[in-house]
């Protein structure tokens, strides 16, 4: 899952981003309204976590624009994370287009729980994905093949989840980097190949993910 974290406190942003990356979220950090605006022009995020009190603008204005500005690529879900705790502020945030509202200070476990809940709500297929004999439970982050549970790392789970969102489609290494990793990932890295190799080994035979020479990788039959 790729997340945009807009937080004007650079130290807090770094701590939260590090924690999310340790949970295998792909996180891009913005500390100003302008930087978040630029990121939202270039990338479609699964979730945007947006602070409201910013040095160069009001995050609530950005939330509103996500629903109307054609130059911005609306994330699948929007989570407001702010110190504004009045009921009127919560109502304004949700009425402006946010899907959820989290008040600072917060426990990191609650943030990750809310991100998981938003991911389930954004998934049109519900809390479970099925492709062939593969099953993913998005709520518990568990995976099975042919009824046998797979022991996947968080990154392996995220990679398989992305494949299962696009069964039969050829996905390039660049596309996998964009959606499963974040802007800090080196485009020339071998991490996609390494993690994919580990995932394939755990999935077993016959291999459900095949290499398409010169193009990328595909899960299942062509659509």
> Would you state the pLDDT for residue 189?
59
Element at 149 (helix H, strand E):
strand 148-150
With the C-alpha atoms ordered 179, 94, 107, 121, is the resulting torsion angle positive or negative? Answer: negative
Distance of CA 79 to the CA centre of its chain: 12
CATH (residue range 128-219): 1.10.10.10
Angle, to 10 degrees, between the axis of helix 108-122 and the axis of helix 10-22? 60
Q: Out of 86-95, 138-147, 179-188, pick the least confident.
A: 179-188
C-alpha closest to that of 59 among 18, 23, 5, 19: 5
Question: Angle at Cα 56 formed by Cα 180 and Cα 104, nearest 5°?
Answer: 60
Residue 9, both tokens:
């406190």
Would the pLDDT of 196 be above 70? yes
| Beta-carbon count within 10 A of 211 CB | 14
Superfamily per CATH, domain 2-122: Response regulator (3.40.50.2300)
DSSP SS3 for 129: strand
**Mean pLDDT of all residues in 90-116:** 94
> Would you state the pLDDT for residue 133?
92
pLDDT in tens, 4-40: 999 999 999 999 999 998 887 889 999 999 999 999 9
Q: List, as one string, the DSSP characters of 55-105.
A: TTEEHHHHHHHHTT-TTS---SEEEEEES--SHHHHHHHHHTT-SEEEESS
Residue boundaries of the structural domains of the chain: 2-122, 128-219
pTM: predicted TM-score of the whole model, two decimal places: 0.68
- Give the integer Cα–Cα distance in Å for 37 and 73: 10
Q: What is the mean pLDDT of the chain?
A: 88
């Amino acid at each position: 899952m790729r997340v945009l974290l807009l937080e004007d406190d650079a130290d807090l942003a770094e701590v939260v981003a590090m924690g999310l990356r340790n949970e295998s979220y792909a996180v891009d950090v913005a500390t100003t309204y302008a930087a978040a605006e630029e990121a939202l022009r270039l990338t479609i995020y699964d979730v945007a976590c947006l602070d409201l009190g910013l040095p160069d603008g009001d995050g609530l204005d950005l939330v509103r624009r996500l629903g109307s500005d054609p130059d911005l690529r609306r994330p699948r879900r929007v989570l407001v994370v702010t110190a504004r705790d009045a009921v009127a502020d919560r109502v304004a945030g949700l009425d402006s287009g946010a899907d959820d509202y989290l008040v600072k200070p917060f426990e990191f476990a609650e943030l990750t729980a809310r991100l998981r809940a938003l991911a389930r709500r954004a998934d049109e297929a519900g809390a479970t994905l099925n492709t062939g004999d593969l099953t993913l439970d998005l709520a518990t982050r568990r995976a099975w093949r042919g009824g046998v549970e797979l022991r996947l790392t968080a990154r392996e789970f995220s990679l398989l989840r992305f494949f299962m969102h696009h069964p039969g489609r050829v996905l390039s290494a660049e596309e996998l980097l964009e959606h499963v990793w974040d802007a800090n990932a080196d485009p020339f890295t071998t991490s996609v190949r390494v993690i994919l190799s580990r995932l394939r080994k755990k999935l077993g035979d016959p291999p459900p993910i095949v290499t398409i020479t010169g193009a990328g990788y595909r899960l299942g039959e062509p659509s």
